[in-house]
Every structure is written in structure tokens, then in C-alpha cells.
């Protein structure tokens, strides 16, 4: 996918363009956090690593075409279907980006202590070079990107504003790790929707987020 074959991308700001691409627009879709939570099935899974078990520092929900599975660490989620709003946003993204999405991972950061550690969305089930469309609502939070292999590359920091769209594509997931940093002074919640296309109906995520 590139800006020539997908004219919509030329309206977005290219944030990053080597070892993968990233585009951003800060006013993409005029919903508010509370509009989006109807019908979501929240989870607060535990994750185990180094022999210890922790609650994930955020709530999650997994929706999409019924039966689509997503697995990582010791967590398995099966999509119960779409809510009408998540589906209509999916349809809009598909039109704008000219790509299919069959699922969405919803992350709810209840306040600035909720976060997501460095990881890549590089599950085999997403196929080679997946396009991930990530929408933000509510509190603005810092999204950090660090190169996996080139120590000389500076960490990229981007403030994800409410109603924004971030598109990650090409080899970005191979070369870069991303995270949502803690922001202890932030009292408000942030909701994130990451639309994905699971190519096989099982996603194996080896890493802990």
C-alpha cells in the first residue's frame, strides 16, 4: 500500500519512512470515548512471565468477524462479532485505506498508570508486513517507537490525540517496537482501537505486551 495507490494516505502526515512506514492524522473520526463502549465485552486478563502472574495494566476487548481468534502469552480471545459502531468504523477504514480488516483489539487505559510495554504486532497470523490502523479516543497519550536493531536510531515519540488515526505498514513491525508509556499525571481514560486482518483464524502471539 502506498500513497499513489491509496490517495487517502496522501492526506495523512508521514511520520516515519524507513524500515517500515507510519502515517498520522489528528482529526479522523468525530466519535467520543463513551460512544464506542456500547456492547464491548471487557476483559482484564492475567499474563505470566518470569514465573510471575500479573493483571494486564489495561482492559481489553476483542471483536470482529465471529470466531476470529487471537492468542498471545497465555491469553486466547475469540471474537463474538462486531458492535454496529466498530463495524461501521471498520467499513470506513476499508474504504479509505483500500484494505480489509476482520478484527479489532480494543484497549482501555483507565488512567495514566495503564500502559502497554514495548512489543511488535508481528504475529504470523497477521501475515508478512501487516497494515495496522490504530484509532485513539479520550486522553492523549505518548506512543513511542524504538528500533529493534539499530542502537543509533533515536526513539520516535508521537502524541496520539483523541479522534486520530495512526497507520503502521510495510516492514515496520519487523524493525520497530512500539509502546504506550505511563503518564502518571493523566487522570482521564483513553480508548484505542487497533484494526487488523487475521489471515489464518488463529493468532499466536509469542510475546508479552
Ligand X SMILES: O=C(O)CCC(=O)C(=O)O
Strand partners of residue 108: 59, 191
User: Mask of contacts with ligand X, 148-177, x by CB under 6 A?
Assistant: ------------x-----------------
Q: Is 59 in the site for ligand X (CB under 6 A)?
A: no
Residue of 112, 79, 89 lying closest to 36 (CA atoms): 89
Alpha helices in the chain (DSSP H): 84-97, 172-175
Size of the site for ligand X (CB under 6 A): 11
Interacting residues with ligand X between 98 and 137 (CB under 6 A) = 105, 107, 116, 121, 134
148 vs 175: CA distance, rounded Å: 5
If the CB atoms of residues 83 and 107 are measured against ligand X, the closer one turns out to be: 107
CB-based contact 104:60 (threshold 8 Å):
no
Q: Is 70 in the site for ligand X (CB under 6 A)?
A: no
Residue from 174, 194, 201, 207 touching ligand X (CB under 6 A): that is 194
If the CB atoms of residues 96 and 114 are measured against ligand X, the closer one turns out to be: 114
The binding site for ligand X (CB under 6 A) comprises 105, 107, 116, 121, 134, 143, 160, 178, 180, 192, 194
Amino acid at each position: 500500500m502506498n500513497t499513489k495507490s491509496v490517495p487517502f494516505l496522501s492526506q495523512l502526515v508521514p511520520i516515519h519512512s524507513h524500515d517500515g512506514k507510519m502515517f498520522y492524522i489528528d482529526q479522523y473520526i468525530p466519535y467520543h470515548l463513551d460512544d464506542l463502549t456500547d456492547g464491548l465485552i471487557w476483559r482484564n486478563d492475567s499474563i505470566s512471565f518470569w514465573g510471575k502472574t500479573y493483571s494486564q495494566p489495561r482492559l481489553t476487548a476483542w471483536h470482529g468477524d465471529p470466531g476470529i481468534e487471537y492468542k498471545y502469552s497465555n491469553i486466547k480471545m475469540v471474537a463474538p462479532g462486531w458492535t454496529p459502531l466498530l463495524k461501521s468504523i471498520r467499513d470506513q477504514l476499508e474504504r479509505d485505506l483500500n484494505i480489509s480488516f476482520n478484527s479489532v483489539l480494543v484497549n482501555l487505559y483507565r488512567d495514566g498508570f495503564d500502559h502497554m510495554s514495548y512489543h511488535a504486532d508481528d504475529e504470523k497470523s497477521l501475515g508478512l508486513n501487516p497494515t495496522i490502523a490504530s484509532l485513539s479516543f479520550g486522553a492523549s497519550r505518548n506512543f513511542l517507537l524504538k528500533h529493534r536493531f539499530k542502537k543509533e536510531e533515536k526513539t520516535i515519540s508521537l502524541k496520539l490525540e483523541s479522534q486520530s488515526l495512526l497507520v503502521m505498514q510495510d516492514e515496520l513491525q519487523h524493525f520497530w517496537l512500539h509502546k504506550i508509556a505511563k503518564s502518571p499525571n493523566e487522570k482521564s481514560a483513553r480508548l484505542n482501537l487497533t484494526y487488523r486482518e487475521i489471515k489464518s483464524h488463529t493468532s499466536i502471539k509469542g510475546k508479552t505486551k
